[in-house]
Amino acid sequence: MSNEKKLEIIRHSLSHILATAVIELYPEAKLAIGPAIDNGFYYDIDFGEQKIGDAELKALEKKMEHLLKQNIKFERSEMPIDEAIAKEKLAGQIYKQELIEDLKKSGETSVSYYASGKFTDLCKGPHIENTNEIAKGSWKLNKVAGAYWRGDEKNKMLTRIYGLAFSTKEELDNYLTMLAEAEKRDHRKLGKELGLFIFSDLVGPGLPIYTEKGAIVRREIINYSNTLQRSIGYQEVHTPNITKADLFKVSGHYEKYKEDMLRVVSNYTDEEYFLKPMNCPQHTQIYASQTRSYRDLPIRISDFANLYRDEKPGELSGLTRLRCFCQDDGHCFCREDQIKEEFVAVLGIIKQAMKTYEMSYNVRLSLWDENKKEKYLGDAATWEKSQKILEEILIENNISYYKAEGEAAIYGPKMDLISKDSLGREWQISTIQLDFIMPQRFGLTFIDSDGKEKTPVMIHRAIVGSPERFMGILIEHYAGNFPAWLAPVQVKILAVGEGHIEYCEELAKKFKSEEVRVEIDANNETVGNKTRKAVNEKIPYILVVGDNEIASGKLAVRERGSREAKEMEFADLVKIIKKTI
């Protein structure tokens, strides 16, 4: 058994022990479900009138510890389904009863139970054999939240108790340290402190407004992606944000993706319009606007148009999930014999980007789910062909990868880059996708060397994905300490007294003419206060200007992270800053 599988079983077994503790302390509680999840487990419970706060959580944790020490065995048993329904009914366990009734409807004739001590829970298993397999100090209960029965807001709100669980105490401790650090770095908190973006109730959830400073960071991310993609032949286009439904009917999004699109109503027509959730369908129209020959290919298009997705308001969070964002999106229309070269070129610039942002990554080959063919467009033969091509590219270029079934796009398989930030958290950022289907649906063609009409292949790709979401990730990755090239303010000049302001302004002008982003603090405060403020703003270079600096013509430069100022010539500092850019 893999370590991962074993850990999952431990996590799920802990949820049973939690339920055991709950029933001992609150015999009237009604249990719903208790699965293992990433990093731990939870159990949904109906406590009736009883409120579960920190004190109750502590008491439950104590009870669990006590139970675990008794080396409780997990024992499986089977029960005829009607007997199980009667048993749960008698015990007043209405949620378990409902679950078993559903199993009966789907044709089951018996169910399995797992006993752990005096408590027995409906469960498919598997479980550990004995609680002594759980390492001491490797788990804890960490929070309580509300959750609707079966995730449906029409149902009753239950209490969800979350626990964390790892293989060892050390792993749990590391995870807790990481959580505490992540909380300090939370981009929603830091974004506000650094004045990068705001949300307004009048504008709406998931629709951030970038301030001057946030707009600079966003623009720098976009500019860098643009520089990279231009280097491999992508040319930027500009496209409208709304589109007739007809376009999405041809692309297939209307059929498979309508729930996630925002509808637009016109005063002048009954035609259906949507805010676009992606650029690809429109880009096919650029391709289709001319007759193409095999010599014209590849055609490479990039676009930073705003995109809109109708995310559930409850799932929106800071910049990581938005209803309005853009992407460093690109589409390449090419011949089949050009696929490999195009993929390798894109992988090259993605690699460069990850190096610049100081992130490591793994490549995931995202395949379709053969058992859910209805979720995808196109036939099995096309899917097999395109999946094989992607795997060949990875093997031929010695790129290590892992496969993930069911992670493909609706029109084709993908290579996704799963990047790791400075806290070791994983993010899906870059993607390259192969698509034989959309060009067919739009009837795109080119005249091949033999004079025959053929269908081009479409490659969809993104370098950092959405610059807005990536900004959120970067804020946490850098803990707000943007490298100078990304920092909204690169140099802050602090005037010691009123008599020094004029000189500061001249100096600022010189920086601006070198395209360095500079700000002056001329407030009537002590230098100590001004320095503290600039440090909190995480400015890469802080300059203090007083009599000495004016007399010597040199700069007193305090670099971020250092406590002392260094004497430097203006030209040398500009050189240092430009080097990072």
DSSP state string for 476-533: HHTTT---TTT-S-SEEEEESSGGGHHHHHHHHHHHHHTT--EEEE--SS-HHHHHHH
Out of 11, 460, 530, 538, the active site residue is 460
* Residues 178-217, mask of contacts with Zn ion (x by CB under 5 A): ----------------------------------------
DSSP secondary-structure letter at 470? H
Minimum distance between the CB of residue 125 and Zn ion, rounded to whole angstroms?
Answer: 6
Q: Of 114 and 224, which CB lies nearer to Zn ion in the complex structure?
A: 114
Q: Of 123 and 432, which CB lies nearer to Zn ion in the complex structure?
A: 123
Out of 44, 329, 435, 521, the active site residue is 329
Residue 280: active-site member: yes
Between CA 142 and CA 162 the distance in angstroms is 6
Q: Of 123 and 408, which CB lies nearer to Zn ion in the complex structure?
A: 123
**The tokens of 496 are what?**
């010691």
Between CA 505 and CA 349 the distance in angstroms is 40
Minimum distance between the CB of residue 16 and Zn ion, rounded to whole angstroms?
Answer: 5
How many residues make contact with Zn ion (CB under 5 A)? Answer: 3
Residue 97: active-site member: no
Q: Which stretch binds Zn ion (CB under 5 A): 133-141, 210-218, 458-466, 546-554?
A: 458-466
Say how many C-beta atoms besides its own lie within 10 A of residue 68's C-beta: 21
Q: Which stretch binds Zn ion (CB under 5 A): 102-110, 142-150, 151-159, 452-460?
A: 452-460
Minimum distance between the CB of residue 539 and Zn ion, rounded to whole angstroms?
Answer: 38
Out of 123, 280, 332, 504, the active site residue is 280
**Residues of this chain, 250-279, that bind Zn ion according to CB under 5 A:** none
Q: Which stretch binds Zn ion (CB under 5 A): 201-209, 239-247, 408-416, 455-463?
A: 455-463
Out of 327, 387, 433, 490, the active site residue is 327
- Rg, Å, the chain Cα set: 29
Q: Of 165 and 577, which CB lies nearer to Zn ion in the complex structure?
A: 165
Out of 331, 477, 517, 538, the active site residue is 331
Q: Which stretch binds Zn ion (CB under 5 A): 93-101, 116-124, 396-404, 528-536?
A: 116-124
Residue 331: active-site member: yes
Out of 11, 185, 218, 414, the active site residue is 414
Give the burial string for 337-352 (b: 16+ CB within 10 Å, else e): ebbeebbebbbebbee
Cβ(297)–Cβ(334) below 8 Å: yes
**Residues of this chain, 122-161, that bind Zn ion according to CB under 5 A:** 123
Minimum distance between the CB of residue 513 and Zn ion, rounded to whole angstroms?
Answer: 41
DSSP secondary-structure letter at 131? G
Q: Which stretch binds Zn ion (CB under 5 A): 118-126, 212-220, 475-483, 514-522?
A: 118-126
Regarding beta strands 157-165 and 40-46, do their DSSP bridges make them parallel or antiparallel, or are they unpaired? antiparallel
Q: Which stretch binds Zn ion (CB under 5 A): 187-195, 235-243, 257-265, 456-464?
A: 456-464
Q: Of 160 and 460, which CB lies nearer to Zn ion in the complex structure?
A: 460
DSSP secondary-structure letter at 132? G
DSSP state string for 271-319: --EEE-S-SHHHHHHHHHTS--BGGGPPEEEEE---EE----GGG-BTT
Between CA 353 and CA 228 the distance in angstroms is 8
Residue 280 engages Zn ion in binding (rule: CB under 5 A)? yes
Minimum distance between the CB of residue 578 and Zn ion, rounded to whole angstroms?
Answer: 35
Residue 327: active-site member: yes
Q: Of 439 and 472, which CB lies nearer to Zn ion in the complex structure?
A: 439
Question: Where is 163: in which H helix or E strand?
Answer: strand 157-165
Between CA 485 and CA 578 the distance in angstroms is 8
Minimum distance between the CB of residue 200 and Zn ion, rounded to whole angstroms?
Answer: 30
Q: Of 31 and 534, which CB lies nearer to Zn ion in the complex structure?
A: 31
**The tokens of 566 are what?**
């260094």
Residue 461 engages Zn ion in binding (rule: CB under 5 A)? no
HEC-encoded secondary structure of 471-482: HHHHHHHCCCCC
Q: Of 35 and 137, which CB lies nearer to Zn ion in the complex structure?
A: 35
**The tokens of 13 are what?**
């077994």
Q: Which of 460, 477, 530, 558 binds Zn ion (CB under 5 A)?
A: 460
Residue 578: active-site member: no
CA distances from 153 to 139, 149, 158, 408 (A): 31, 8, 11, 30
Residue 69: active-site member: no
Cβ(521)–Cβ(548) below 8 Å: no
Catalytic residues: 280, 309, 327, 329, 331, 414, 460
The residues of the shown chain that bind Zn ion, judged by CB under 5 A, are 123, 280, 460
